[in-house]
Amino acid sequence: MKLILKNIFVIILIFTLIIAVTSDNKAQNATQAVTVKGVATVFGNDRALARDQAIDDALREAVQQTLGTFVQASTLVQNNMLVEDNILSWSDGYVRSHRVISEGFADQSTYEVTIEAVVELANLKNDWESVQNLLNRMGNPRMMFMIEEQNIGQSTNRYDYLSVDMNITETTLLNKFIENSFECVDPATVRQNIEQDQALTILQGNTKLASALAKNLGAEVIITGKTVAKVATGINLGGMKSCQANVTARVIKADVATVIATGSQHAAYPHIDEVTGGTEAIKKATDKLAEDLIAKITKKWRDEFYNATTVKMVIHGVTSFSQVNDFKNTLKFFIRGIKDVYNRKITENLAELDVKITGNANQLARELERKDLDKFQVKVIGLTMNKLTIQLSEKEIQE
């Protein structure tokens, strides 16, 4: 009887293992079929191009719908039009196949296709982290670092900042950000293009001057901060010294001079030589700071990509307050993805608006130049990652 029960148990165990392996293989090969629509605006009567763009739009939507299984994110579509092109860069890798079910003009200027796409779920789930990083880089902005550093035994004179090509904190941050695929400006280049008084002012926390320097050196983001290392007193390590380091930093959007993240970290390192111990403590604290800042920066950009970002719009050619209000209403009515528009400054012939939009400054610039904006004409005369400068005029009334 015991032998029979034992054999039954073995058989059940074998079947359980077979089912588990089969289920795991199915999970690895799992796919999901979705039916989605894609749209594109027809420019210059180019139907073929519009059809291709509408199919691309549908592929993005297929992947985005399936991503909803793994992440919580706001829709990327406003007014039936996709607001960003980033998803296309990786959608082909996850759409196993697709076929067009129907297509045609939705109206005189819009082409619409409906496709059935087969999306690979396993790859989406396993590769989500890298996909997330890709989406969050928001056009691959370049980073720049300016960190005041005082190691144990070093002078407190801030003018010493220019006496080296880069310090320990900047070197560690540079390496960490490069490892995570960020493009970075060499700190040595920063020192070659800055005066002592400018460096001192920036290191004291002048956000506007830091932003101006970053823009001049081609960086979209600048990280400034301070590092101090010292020997802890009252700690008996048997001849070793407890070397402590504190690192603080702010992350600033260069083109609009706004802080998007802050961070501070502490680390200790025991060593018989206090300078060596201070160096290692700084490296250790900066490693932790870099991980913290990278997480905060990518989270910020992910939120901006999926939800909304603020684009600063500088308008030249303003004639009155009422004209600005009329233009704000026109933006909300004609431009896709706009959630709200706020007045920031209006002078005699200049206005500054904050445009809350699902998308980015580049998309907004394209829309402004392509769309018929009723009585307004717009010429884009400046564009950065977060800022758009335009020349505004009104169309002549035809009698």
For every residue of 34-103, DSSP letters joined together read EEEEEEEE--TT-HHHHHHHHHHHHHHHHHHHHHTTT-----SEETTEE--STTHHHHTTTEEEEEEEEE
- Mean pLDDT value across residues 322-331: 93
Q: Which residues contact residue 115 at a Cβ distance below 8 angstroms, ignoring those fewer than 6 apart?
A: 35, 36, 37, 38, 55, 58, 59, 62, 98, 99, 100, 101
Could you give the CA distance from residue 77 to residue 117 in angstroms, rounded to a whole number? 18
Q: What burial class does residue 88 get, using C-beta atoms within 10 Å of its C-beta: 0-12 exposed, 13-18 middle, 19+ buried?
A: middle
Is pLDDT of 82 > 60?
Answer: no
Q: Which of 51-55, 173-177, 309-313 comes out lowest in average pLDDT?
A: 51-55
Q: pLDDT band at 14, cuts 50/70/90?
A: very low
Looking up tokens 């010292």 gives 230
Q: With pLDDT > 90 as the criterion, what percentage of the chain qualifies?
A: 38
For residue 226, the model assigns a pLDDT of 94
Q: What pLDDT, on a 0 to 100 scale, did the predictor assign at position 124? A: 53
Contact call for residues 280 and 269 (beta carbons, < 8 A): yes
Alpha-carbon separation of residue 31 from 28, 63, 124, 202, 256 (angstroms): 9, 11, 10, 53, 43
| Mean pLDDT of the 295-308 span | 76
Rg of the chain on CA atoms, in Å: 28
Q: What is the mean pLDDT of the chain?
A: 80
Higher pLDDT, 355 or 164: 355
Q: Residues 217-246: what's their mean pLDDT?
A: 86
Provide the pLDDT for residue 195. Answer: 85
Distance CA(281)–CA(223), nearest Å, equals: 20
Give yes or no for residue 86 having a pLDDT over 50: no
What's the rounded Cα separation, in Å, for the pair 328 and 324?
A: 6
pLDDT for 13 equals 44
**Mean pLDDT, residues 220-249 taken together:** 87
Q: Sign (positive/negative) of CA torsion 225, 229, 230, 235? A: positive
Q: What pLDDT is stored for residue 338 in this prediction?
A: 87
Give the pLDDT mean for 29-34: 77
pLDDT at 334 over 90: no
Q: Are 270 and 240 in contact (CB under 8 A)?
A: yes
Which residue has tokens 């823009």?
A: 215
Average of pLDDT values for 21-29?
A: 44
Contact by Cβ (8 Å): 336, 83 = yes
Burial of residue 121 (number of CB atoms within 10 Å: 0-12, 13-18, 19+): middle
Confidence (pLDDT) at 11: 45
Closest to 76 in 3D by CA, of 58, 89, 93, 94: 58
Q: How far is Cα 186 from Cα 192, in angstroms, rounded to an integer? A: 10
- The residue-averaged pLDDT of 90-98 equals 65
* pLDDT on residue 315: 95
Give tens-digit pLDDT for 199-213: 888 888 899 999 999
- Indicate the pLDDT class of residue 70, thresholds 50, 70 and 90: very low
* pLDDT the model gives residue 397: 67
Q: Are strands 241-253 and 258-271 parallel, antiparallel or unpaired?
A: antiparallel
DSSP calls for 354-397 = EEEESS-HHHHHHHHHHS-BTTEEEEEEEE-SSEEEEEEEEPPP
- Per-residue confidence (pLDDT) for residue 75, from 0 to 100: 39
Of 63 and 258, which is predicted with more confidence?
258
Residue 290's pLDDT band, with cuts at 50, 70 and 90, is very high
Residues 6+ apart with CB under 8 A from 292: 263, 265
Phi-psi bin for 178: left (phi > 0), alpha (psi -120 to 50), beta? alpha
Domains in the chain, start-ordered, CATH in brackets? 31-136 (3.30.1660.40), 142-302 (3.40.50.10610), 309-394 (3.30.70)
Average of per-residue pLDDT across 265-274? 91
Assess contact for 102 and 160: CB atoms under 8 A.
no
Q: What is the pLDDT of residue 4?
A: 52
The average pLDDT across 227-241 equals 80
pTM, rounded to two decimals = 0.66
Please tell me the predicted confidence (pLDDT) of residue 184.
92
Q: Is 88 left (phi over 0), alpha (psi -120 to 50) or beta?
A: alpha
Supply the pLDDT for residue 79: 38
CB 64 within 8 A of CB 38: no
- Over residues 295-302, the mean pLDDT reads 80
Average pLDDT over residues 180-187: 86
